[in-house]
């Protein structure tokens, strides 16, 4: 253990800018520009440290994309394992039905080695699953010949930059050249995933963070009476984004709105899960999508700062995977026109991380490795 790394407060964010300690700076800069960029979030500190070669690998968590999006923004490899593959013991709970821990590393092999040592059943996390841990490293270098790779049409979203579409097509071409069969698929409920996530995740967060009451747990800011103490404690102890999530979560769980929001989002979640089950039942081995809808953006981007919903759109390709409890990996696949790294995502069947490592290593071999120029 070398040290702890920065992150968005309570793992809520896509840019590291909600961090109590201030934002991490991405080691990557666009060509000919000095603009400081975000490393993504919430595990931005982990991704930046790995990209800058401060460490060989780092642990991270992913509730809606917090391993995969920072990996894509920093040219590193990040895998969110299947829900239950790793213990979350010691991790502050955000949304317990979505949270999963996993590694960030400089290449696919390192990620496989790290996951092998992280994956296990654990008495201290009852959601962890007692299944043998395969030798993930052995999957690297295996052929993808004859494998069926699904390309979901719903991931071609409006306003997606041309660079992202090009990268996706490149990834498809590499896998085809390696003997995989490319199959067009449909995941019809994809468009509801982001709104449903932003109901389910805040609902669980509001419940999980209720323990930070200043009485039995966490910070306490004294007040003139108990109500005043609660108010001061929770106003001071949580940043704006966390407060927003608690308020959304409390609202969607309240008696009058529970059925309309929370229950409906849970039903949508089941439909999203079923979409994936259907395509896997049709013989699809893994699904290829872009990891993020853009490259790393600038710190304090005004458009994003003033519109939290725009920030939430960063998770558009990653939240479906958490909603369905599936494994997903982000692998660097190229640079955009400005020289910033971009990632492709592979989504797998439950507990089939091996197929993700195998396929990601084919993409890695074709794309090469990406390291930022040292300016720090
Ligand atoms: N960016 C997403 C959010 O803010 C995901 C966070 C995460 O995976 N921890 O909720």
CA of 315 relative to ligand 1 center, distance in Å: 7
Task: Please give the full DSSP string across 291-341, using - where no structure is assigned.
Answer: S-SSSPPBTT-HHHHT-HHHHHGGGTTTHHHHHHT--EEEEEEEE-TTS-E
13 lines ligand 1 (CB under 6 A): yes
Confidence (pLDDT) at 221: 97
User: pLDDT (tens digit, 9 = 90+) per residue, 190-248?
Assistant: 999 999 999 999 999 999 999 999 998 899 999 999 999 999 999 999 999 999 999 99
Tokens describing residue 355? 């197929």
125 lines ligand 1 (CB under 6 A): no
pLDDT greater than 90 at residue 305: no
User: pLDDT (tens digit, 9 = 90+) per residue, 354-375?
Assistant: 999 999 999 999 999 999 999 9
CA of 14 relative to ligand 1 center, distance in Å: 6
Q: Which of ligand 1's atoms lies nearest the C-alpha of 245?
A: 10
Confidence (pLDDT) at 159: 84
CATH class of the structural domain 9-367: alpha beta
CA of 145 relative to ligand 1 center, distance in Å: 35
What number of other Cβ atoms are within 10 A of residue 337's Cβ? Answer: 12
User: pLDDT (tens digit, 9 = 90+) per residue, 308-356?
Assistant: 898 999 999 999 999 999 999 999 999 999 999 999 999 999 999 999 9
Domain ranges (residues) in the chain: 9-367
User: pLDDT (tens digit, 9 = 90+) per residue, 70-108?
Assistant: 999 999 999 999 999 999 999 999 999 999 999 999 999
User: pLDDT (tens digit, 9 = 90+) per residue, 10-55?
Assistant: 999 999 999 999 999 999 999 999 999 999 999 999 999 999 999 9
* Average pLDDT, integer, range 144-171: 95
Q: Please compute Rg for the chain using Cα positions.
A: 20
Tokens describing residue 170? 């490149």
User: pLDDT (tens digit, 9 = 90+) per residue, 125-135?
Assistant: 999 999 999 99
CA of 292 relative to ligand 1 center, distance in Å: 13
- At residue 47, the 3 state secondary structure works out as helix
Q: Examine residue 243 and say whether the peptide bond preceding it is cis (omega within 30 degrees of 0).
A: no
Confidence (pLDDT) at 306: 83
């Amino acid at each position: 253990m070398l040290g702890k790394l920065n992150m968005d407060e309570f793992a809520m964010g896509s840019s590291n800018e909600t961090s109590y300690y201030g934002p991490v700076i991405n080691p990557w800069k666009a060509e000919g520009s000095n603009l400081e960029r975000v490393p993504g979030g919430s595990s931005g500190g982990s991704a930046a440290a790995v990209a800058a070669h401060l460490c060989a690998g780092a642990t991270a968590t992913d509730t809606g994309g917090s391993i995969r999006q920072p990996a894509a923004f920093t040219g590193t490899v990040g895998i969110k394992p299947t829900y239950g593959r790793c213990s979350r013991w010691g991790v502050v709970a955000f949304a317990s039905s979505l949270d999963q821990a996993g590694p960030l590393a400089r290449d696919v092999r390192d990620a496989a080695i790290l996951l092998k040592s992280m994956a296990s059943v654990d008495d201290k996390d009852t959601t962890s699953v007692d299944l043998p841990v395969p030798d993930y490293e052995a999957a690297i270098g295996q052929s993808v010949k004859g494998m069926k790779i699904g390309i979901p049409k719903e991931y071609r979203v409006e306003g997606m930059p041309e660079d992202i579409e090009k990268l996706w097509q490149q990834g498809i071409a590499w896998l085809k050249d390696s003997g995989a069969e490319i199959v067009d698929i449909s995941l019809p409920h994809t468009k509801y995933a982001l709104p449903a996530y932003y109901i389910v995740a805040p609902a669980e967060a509001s419940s999980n963070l209720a323990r930070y009451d200043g009485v039995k747990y966490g910070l306490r800011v004294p007040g003139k009476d108990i109500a005043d103490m609660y108010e001061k404690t929770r106003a001071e102890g949580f940043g704006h984004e966390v407060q927003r999530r608690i308020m959304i979560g409390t609202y969607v769980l309240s008696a009058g709105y529970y059925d309309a929001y929370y229950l409906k989002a849970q039903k949508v979640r089941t439909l999203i899960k079923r979409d994936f089950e259907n395509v896997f039942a049709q013989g699809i081995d893994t699904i290829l999508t872009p990891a993020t809808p853009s490259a790393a953006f600038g710190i304090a981007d005004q458009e994003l700062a003033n519109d939290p919903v725009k920030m939430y759109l960063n998770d558009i390709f990653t939240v479906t995977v958490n909603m369905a409890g599936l494994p997903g990996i982000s692998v660097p696949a190229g640079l955009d026109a400005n020289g910033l790294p971009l990632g492709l995502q592979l989504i797998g069947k439950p507990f089939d991380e091996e197929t993700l490592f195998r396929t990601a290593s084919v993409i890695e071999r074709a794309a090469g490795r990406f390291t930022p120029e040292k300016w720090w």
